[in-house]
Amino acid sequence: MVLKEINSRTARLGDRFKLRVDEPIYINGVPVVPVGSTAWGEIASVEKNGAVGKGGRLGAKLLYLDLPSGQVRLRGDYADRGGGNGAGVVLAVVGFGLLGLLTGGDSARLKAGDIFTGYVDGPSPLPSPPATKDISAPEPAA
């Protein structure tokens, strides 16, 4: 889950941002990553909103999950495109003449609270769940 809003107006390529695990992660029914664990993402592409109503663009990717056992590489992408503002440009040109062409579009956003789905990318130091005893077959009598 994204903790702080990021938008195409202020973000820069390579900026890193913090995320929070919002659901526990289980392996074989045993929780191995608790809620509240920290993950990190990075801005992969950014295009600022521009004149003549052009909307901004924003791309982000997941990097890793921080655990006491080490970092777990993650993969996952996010992209957003800000809305254009064609109607606003027309109204601005009518009201302000050619200066109305400087009216910008909306910024692309990664909002606080948005869910960013990630997947483990390759081998990882996720803790192994404890071994469970197979109770489906009875033990032979000695």
Flag whether 113 is in a domain.
yes
Residue 96 lies in a domain: yes
58 within a domain of the structure (yes/no): yes
The three-state DSSP-derived secondary structure of the chain is CECCCEECCCCCCCCEEEEECCCCEEECCEEEECCCCEEEEEEEEEECCCCCCCCCEEEEEEEEEEECCEEEEEECEEEEECCCCHHHHHHHHHHHHHHHHHCCCCCCEECCCCCCCCEECCCCCCCCCCCCCCCCCCCCCC
Q: What is the pLDDT of residues 14-60, one digit of tens each?
A: 999 999 999 888 877 888 888 999 999 999 988 877 544 456 788 88
Whole domain around residue 108: which residue ranges?
6-120
Q: Is residue 137 part of a domain?
A: no
Domain count for the chain, please give it. 1
Give the model's pLDDT for residue 139.
Answer: 58
Predicted confidence at residue 101, as pLDDT, reads: 37
